[in-house]
């Protein structure tokens, strides 16, 4: 895959309600995300993170407003065609269990008429897997390897935009950390735009260029990791950041007692 430049993402007056407008899953917002940025969406469960993410690839259509990729409204595009050109990685991976790794990765290229065996090998190498895994079934892989295949499958259509919904949440801490670092390196190398939902504030701080903190459907803080760590994000952001800070303090206390 050649390095490229991911598209910008713009929300214009976007809102989503599932009950006819009484309660907003996503409150009306205007927001610009520059191409090539790695953005993390954080907040408690039910804050609207995944709903906002899914308006981008039309898994959820907004109740008001619109989303634009570059200058093109996603609502003007066929949903299936749109999704073929956006990478999407989620926690449960969604690999098809009865077909091989290569066949899982090749689903999008087959749909777009750009199937290539060499591409599969290149993608496996890109996500740190050996090409000899191509003929294995998903059940023969570890959880971390399966998630790497999920990332490879999302990259197979050579998207400029990657959407990630708790992509590493089901992994053990060591694998999660390694895969997060590996993906961040891929993001930079390929010039992607990445928008990632995570409950893990430490993960957001370590991986993202920009963090959007959501609460009850609203974006209540928007800043760099450095700005949020400096206390510029307000009460909700401070409460989320306090969790990893407390964990670090406890570890230091334990180290001092050894």
Averaged pLDDT score across all residues of the chain = 90
Residue 90 domain-assigned (yes or no): no
Residue 66 domain-assigned (yes or no): yes
Residue 137 domain-assigned (yes or no): no
CA gap 130, 95 in Å, rounded: 18
pLDDT tens for each residue of 235-246: 999 999 999 899
Range of the domain at 252: 1-84+164-169+194-258
The H or E element spanning position 227 is helix 225-229
- Comparing C-alpha atoms, which of 208, 129, 134 is closest to residue 167? 208
Residue 229 domain-assigned (yes or no): yes
Angle at 16 between CA 14 and CA 19, to 5 degrees: 155
**DSSP letters along 20-32, please?**
TTSSEEEEEEEEE
Residue 209 domain-assigned (yes or no): yes
Three-class SS of residue 214?
strand
**Quick check: 204 and 211 in contact, CB under 8 A?**
yes
Residue 55 domain-assigned (yes or no): yes
- Comparing C-alpha atoms, which of 256, 243, 153, 158 is closest to residue 200? 243
CATH of the domain at 16: 3.40.50.300
Other beta carbons less than 10 A from residue 96's beta carbon = 12
Residue 141 domain-assigned (yes or no): no
Assess whether pLDDT exceeds 90 at residue 171: no
Question: Predicted confidence band at 247 (pLDDT cuts at 50, 70, 90)?
Answer: confident
Sequence-distant (6+) residues with CB within 8 A of 11 are: 29, 30, 31, 32, 52, 55, 65, 66, 67
pLDDT tens for each residue of 121-141: 888 988 888 988 999 999 999
Assess whether pLDDT exceeds 50 at residue 145: yes
Other beta carbons less than 10 A from residue 123's beta carbon = 28
CA gap 183, 149 in Å, rounded: 12
Q: Is the pTM of this model over 0.85?
A: yes
pLDDT tens for each residue of 181-234: 999 999 999 999 999 999 999 999 999 999 999 999 999 999 999 999 999 999
Question: Predicted confidence band at 117 (pLDDT cuts at 50, 70, 90)?
Answer: very low
Residue 144 domain-assigned (yes or no): no
Domain count, the chain: 1
**Quick check: 182 and 164 in contact, CB under 8 A?**
no
151 vs 170 pLDDT, higher one: 151
DSSP state of 63: S
pLDDT tens for each residue of 2-36: 556 799 999 999 999 987 777 889 999 999 999 99
């Amino acid at each position: 895959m050649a390095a490229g430049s991911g598209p910008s993402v713009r929300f214009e007056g976007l809102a989503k309600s599932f009950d006819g407008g009484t309660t907003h899953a996503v409150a009306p917002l205007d927001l610009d995300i520059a191409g090539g940025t790695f953005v993390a969406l954080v907040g408690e469960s039910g804050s609207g993170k995944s709903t906002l993410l899914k308006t981008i690839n039309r898994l959820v259509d907004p109740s008001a407003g619109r989303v634009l990729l570059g200058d093109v409204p996603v609502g003007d595009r066929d949903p299936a065609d749109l999704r073929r050109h956006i990478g999407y990685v989620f926690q449960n991976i969604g690999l098809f269990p009865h077909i091989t790794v290569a066949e899982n990765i090749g689903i999008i290229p087959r749909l777009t008429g750009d199937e290539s065996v060499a591409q599969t090998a290149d993608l496996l190498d890109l996500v740190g897997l050996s090409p000899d895994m191509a003929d294995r079934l998903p059940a023969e892989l570890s959880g971390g390897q399966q998630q790497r295949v999920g990332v490879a499958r999302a990259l197979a259509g050579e998207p400029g935009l990657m959407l990630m919904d708790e992509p590493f949440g089901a992994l053990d801490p060591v694998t999660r950390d390694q895969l997060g670092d590996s993906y961040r390196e891929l993001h930079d190398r390929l010039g992607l735009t990445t928008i990632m939902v995570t409950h893990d504030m430490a993960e957001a701080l370590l991986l993202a260029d920009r963090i959007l903190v959501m609460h009850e459907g609203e974006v209540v803080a928007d800043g760099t990791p450095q700005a949020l760590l400096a206390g510029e994000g307000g009460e909700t952001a401070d409460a989320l950041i306090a969790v990893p800070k407390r964990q670090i303090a406890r570890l230091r206390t334990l180290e001092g007692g050894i």
